[in-house]
Chain A
Amino acid sequence: MSSIKPFSKLPQLNTANVLVSSIFLRHHLSLNLSTFIPVFRRLARGLPLPAENEENRPRIDLVVFIVHLSSELSLVSTENSLKQLDTGYFLGKVCFLVTGARCGLVPDERLVSLRKLAGSLHCPLLFAEDQTREGVSTAAQRVLKILRVSAGLVPMVTGLYLSSLTRCTVPLDSDGSVQD
């Protein structure tokens, strides 16, 4: 079991690598690869990653956690994976993608606790619709934008700078203090 570090390997020229972590691997994002740089997508059910592939694995530029609100296991496994992630990633190289937030059958507590988690880690929280093709492609476009920044392919912008603009804010309580 190895933990990935953001700067322990040399970057590859003009490529970007993203690690997508989701408990339902068939829901993985079909990242639109028609950008002018190749994007390599690696899938995982959760962290830590197995140690066998350590040498062959390139430097991961962005870790995307897909949380399916319809199942509690998704949230629990994301929380456990976060503990295994090197802290260097939280400076702009982690993104949360939430599916199923509009469903009436989802208890409110899950979304609230996920927002608190993302807010405390200062990471962007994106909502996605995974049942339609347009929804998936829209979500893929948004993730690609963040990926390009965190892979260093956009001049003058770093992941840390972008995350200060896109980070999730925790909703406030009615009297101004943070919700319990």
Chain B
Amino acid sequence: MEAQKSATMTPRTNVASGRRSLGFEKTNLRYTPGQLTALRIPTSRRKPNTRNDIDPEQLAYIANIEWKLSYVTPLYKFRHTQLVLYSKQLSAFIVAEKQKGIAVEVGPEMGFKVVFSVVLGMTETDEDAETVFIKICSKPAFAVEGSAVKVVWSGWFTCVNGNLDYMRSLPSDFVSLPLFCTNGPESITALVKSWFTRMFDCYFGPLSLNSSILQWLGALWTECHPASNIRYLKLAWNLPTLPPLDISYTVHPQDAWNLWSSIRQNDSMEDGISIEEVRRFMKGLESHFFRHFRMHLSAGMLTRICTSLGSAHCDGTIKITGTQYITPVLMLLTECAQLKMPI
């Protein structure tokens, strides 16, 4: 965008100058909570393919851990080249806060180390910033050299296939890394967030996954079933009856695959999954439940969806075990995070 645009110019006027018309990619227009930014959300997504170019050792830090999700507004003057400096500053900040008396569960007699690193290869487009991984490890005071460090807290910022119009409309010093995942004690998360807020003038907020996101995840994971067995498809619903009912619905993977492929048979796109197919899949599961138990699952809320490739909960926690399909999941979550930008 032009350099003269001031930082107060909202992206709305620059976004999508003209509807993408019929026949081409169909999108829906969604507004952020401040109603000033319009983002185009696609109604169909690409089928998940395996990716092999991410370092598996770094991927091992991300897999099999339950991450708590938040969204971050764009960071001001965050440089990927200064990560060592940021590590030192963050550890100094944590020490200072500890001395002020704010409880940190690292323990008073142990030292700790903060490491910022970059995980290359997770981005999809040229506009995406590289993923930044933060690890806080504790070193016992009398440790022998070379003993294993225990990771006390870890977190990462990422942006995978973010909305191009939005990111191009940001002023030049801002880096958009909207998705922030954390694992570890809440007190350390709060400290890290307050350091980032002070250093980069950003704002953190909780990211909750609504039922349409969970349905997309379920459909994407079911689509991967022939390639890597999902072993089960578990859905959890919460019905607002008196007393409230929690329903856990487990589907055999072969049955889920049969249902999904029968939906995909009728004029489906070769390369993508559309939202209509996802809805029909969920309606199929719900009507099957209704036939047996005479209860409408759609009267309640979908709270959790699990397969052996990963699990997601509606209050913003996600666990990814099938790392070869990590990209479509992160794309969905990045989109979700960008939709929550306050303006």
User: Within residues 179 to 196 of chain B, which ones have a CB less than 8 A from any CB in chain A?
Assistant: none
Give the docked Cα–Cα distance between A23 and B314 (Å).
23
Contact with A along B1-37 (1 / 0, CB 8 A): 0000000000010011111000000001110000000
Q: Which of A55-108 contact B (CB under 8 A)?
A: 70-74, 76, 104-108
Residue of A nearest to B27 (CB): A180
**In the complex, which of the residues B12, B208, B296 contacts A174, with contact meaning CB atoms closer than 8 Å?**
B12
Q: Are B29 and A180 in contact (CB under 8 A)?
A: yes
Interface check A173, CB cutoff 8 A: yes
Q: Within 8 Å CB of A109, what residues of B? A: 28, 212
Chain B, range 214-266, C-beta contacts under 8 Å to A: 240, 242
Q: How many residues of A contact B (CB 8 A)?
A: 21
A161 on the interface (CB 8 Å rule)?
A: no
Q: Does B58 contact A (CB under 8 A)?
A: no
Q: Is B299 an interface residue (CB 8 A)?
A: yes
Asked whether B19 lies within 8 Å of A71 as measured between CB atoms, the reply is: no
| Complex: A177 Cα to B17 Cα, angstroms | 12
Q: Which DSSP category, helix, strand, loop or mixed, fits chain A's interface?
A: loop
Least CB distance from A66 to B in Å reads: 13
- Closest chain A CB from B28 CB (angstroms): 7
A133 part of interface (Cβ distance < 8 Å): no
Asked if A169 is at the interface of the complex by the 8 Å CB criterion, the answer is: no
Docked CA distance A108–B12 (Å) = 19
Report chain B residues within 8 Å CB of A180.
19, 28-29
CB distance from A89 to the nearest CB of B (A): 25
Among A70, A76, A174, which residue has its beta carbon within 8 angstroms of that of B301? A70
> What residues make up the interface of A, taking CB atoms closer than 8 Å to B?
23-24, 26, 70-74, 76, 104-109, 173-175, 177, 179-180
